[in-house]
Amino acid sequence: MNTKHQPDFVHEQLTDEHAETIRATLPLVGSKIDEIAPNFYQRMFSANPDLLRDTFNRGNQARGAQQKALAASVATFATLLVNPDGPSPDELLSRIGHKHVSLGITEDQYQIVHDNLFAAIVDVLGADVVTAPVAEAWDEVYWIMARTLVRFENALYEKAGVEPGEVFLTAKVARRIDQGEHVASFELEARQGEPALRSFLPGQYISVRRTMADGAGQLRQYSLCNAPTEGRWQFTVKQVLGDTTPAGEVSTSLVEGLKEGDELEVSLPTGDLVLDQDSEAPVVLISAGIGATPMLGMARALADEKSTRQVLVLHADQDAAGAALVDELTEAVDALPNGSLKLWFEKGEHELATLGLMQLDQVELPEGAQFYLCGSNGFLMAVRSQLQEAGVPAESIHFELFAPNDWLLPK
């Protein structure tokens, strides 16, 4: 995480009494997250159906991918808060804060979450377990986290020059590039007569809002994959197909229905996984599948500024024949004086590729490098483990998850 572009975190501490209560009850709360989370969401959406329609992604909810994220983030924050020898909670808070800004979350919504989450906790654990002292301690954990996030998010809104929550604008699709079956890139520009789209930091993302047949405004985040230039934002979409799980509403709407000349509602760029452009250290960009998008943006930014830094791009995908953005990664690396590319495909042939899963012991990792990772949970866990085995310090590993549980911190 690069913190140079964002506000500092200042959060309160629990009283000794509350901290002791949290330590005593954390194992039980943690063990019941899988029960608390669906109870919480069912309560919140029943009382506030507009949140499921216009803020939360229905596909992620239906697949169960998002059910655990919010409740688990509170438990994770509590763990970090009562463990003085553990990692700082700043990385957790930064991820959540940037995601909230991309969705236009405002302070009043924290009360809605609080009321439904704590009702779920009492329902699952029982009133005999959630006594007044226990409820008071967990209540304080939540509001310390909430107040910290509200301050951070409001500072991000202020830096962006907008009122809290007012992050959405309508842009025009200047170009559509079909990248193969079920994958398309879209280049956006400002509508005629409106200010140019602002620049951004390499690695940041936008939220895209699509209105569905039932009128719901569904949201999905996509990384910007072009070099930061005033006036143009480019992102790439892989359609989420419905086989054993529900199809992705937003991705299907974009890939099947969005064309050049159309208008699209998007948020201002945000995100804390950004390339440190002030450093001269070597850069290693590691991705799998459509996780290549932020890495492509970083590689293009380095090429655009004619960087002489050593840049190693490592990418894996299932099939060489259908892999998206490989040609674009190759082009970006070719434009770097000290760039190199290594590919892995589970099947198919490519002149730069090795057959099989990504194995970092097959490449020479540069000393003192900063590592940027993006992909599925399983891929990131496997790669992070390989980096740790190679002796890479944890503080040199920065990652983005293409999944709702982005509260996850390095173990």
327 and 353 in contact (C-beta within 8 Å)? no
pLDDT of residue 297: 97
Tell me what the mean pLDDT of segment 380-408 comes to: 80
Q: What are the counts of helices (DSSP H) followed by strands (DSSP E) for the chain?
A: 12, 12
Q: What pLDDT shows up at residue 245?
A: 56
Q: Tell me: the pLDDT tens digits for 212-263? A: 888 888 899 999 999 998 799 999 999 988 665 567 889 999 999 999 999 9
Average pLDDT over residues 316-333: 92
So what's the pLDDT on residue 52? 73
Residues 330, 252, 298: CA angle, nearest 5 degrees: 30
- C-alpha 174/C-alpha 188 separation (Å) is 5
* Close Cβ partners of 36 (under 8 Å, ≥ 6 residues apart): 29, 71, 117, 120, 121, 124, 125
Element of type H or E holding 316: strand 311-319
What pTM value is reported for the model? 0.91
Question: What b-and-e string marks burial along 275-299, b requiring 16 or more CB atoms within 10 Å of the CB?
Answer: bbbeeeebbbbbbbbbbbbbbbbbb
- Share the mean pLDDT of the chain: 89
Among candidate residues 91, 153, 249, 328, the one labeled active-site is 153
Residue scoring higher pLDDT (88 or 106): 106
pLDDT for the residue numbered 402: 55
Lowest mean pLDDT segment, chosen from 86-95, 139-148, 171-180? 86-95
Instruction: Say if residue 53's pLDDT is above 80.
Output: no
d(CA 97, CA 150): 8
Residue 11 has pLDDT above 90, yes or no: no
Over the stretch 390-399, which tens digit does the pLDDT of each residue have? 999 989 999 8
pLDDT tier, 411 (very low <50, low <70, confident <90, very high otherwise): very low
Encoded tokens for 182: 């079920």
Mean pLDDT of 95-123: 94
- Cα–Cα distance measured from residue 38 to residue 26, given in angstroms and rounded to the nearest whole number: 19
pLDDT band for 179, please (50, 70, 90 cuts): confident
Give the per-residue pLDDT at 174.
97
Residue corresponding to tokens 């309560």: 43
153 in active site: yes
Asked which of 81-85, 100-104, 388-392 is least confident by mean pLDDT, the reply is 81-85
Residue 405 above 70 pLDDT?
no
Q: What is the pLDDT of residue 357?
A: 95
CA distance 229 to 340: 24
DSSP 154-178: HHHHHHHTS-TT--EEEEEEEEEEE
Predicted local confidence at residue 64, as pLDDT? 57
Identify which of 38-42, 164-168, 319-323, 392-396 has the greatest average pLDDT: 164-168
- What is the predicted pLDDT for the residue at 60? 66
**Closest to 293 measured CA to CA, from 367, 369, 224, 190:** 224
* Paired tokens of 219: 């949201």
**Residue recorded with tokens 């990418």:** 315
Single-letter amino acid code for the residue at 329: L
Rounded distance between C-alpha atoms, residue 88 and residue 76, angstroms: 11
Distances (CA, A) of 299 to 101, 332, 340: 25, 6, 11
> Residue 2: its pLDDT value, please?
52
* Nearest-10 crossing angle of helices 109-125, 69-81: 90
- What pLDDT band is residue 295 in, cutting at 50, 70 and 90? very high
CB atoms within 10 A of CB 347: 12
Q: Given a cut of 50, is residue 406 above it in pLDDT?
A: no
Q: What is the pLDDT of residue 323?
A: 87
Q: Does 367 score more than 80 pLDDT?
A: yes
Task: Look at 47-56, 64-73, 370-379 and tell me which has the smallest mean pLDDT.
Answer: 64-73
Structure tokens belonging to residue 150? 């509200």
Residue 259 structure tokens: 């064309």
Mean pLDDT of 7-26: 87
Pairing label, strands 183-190, 205-211: unpaired
pLDDT of residue 241: 83
Position 410 scores a pLDDT of 44
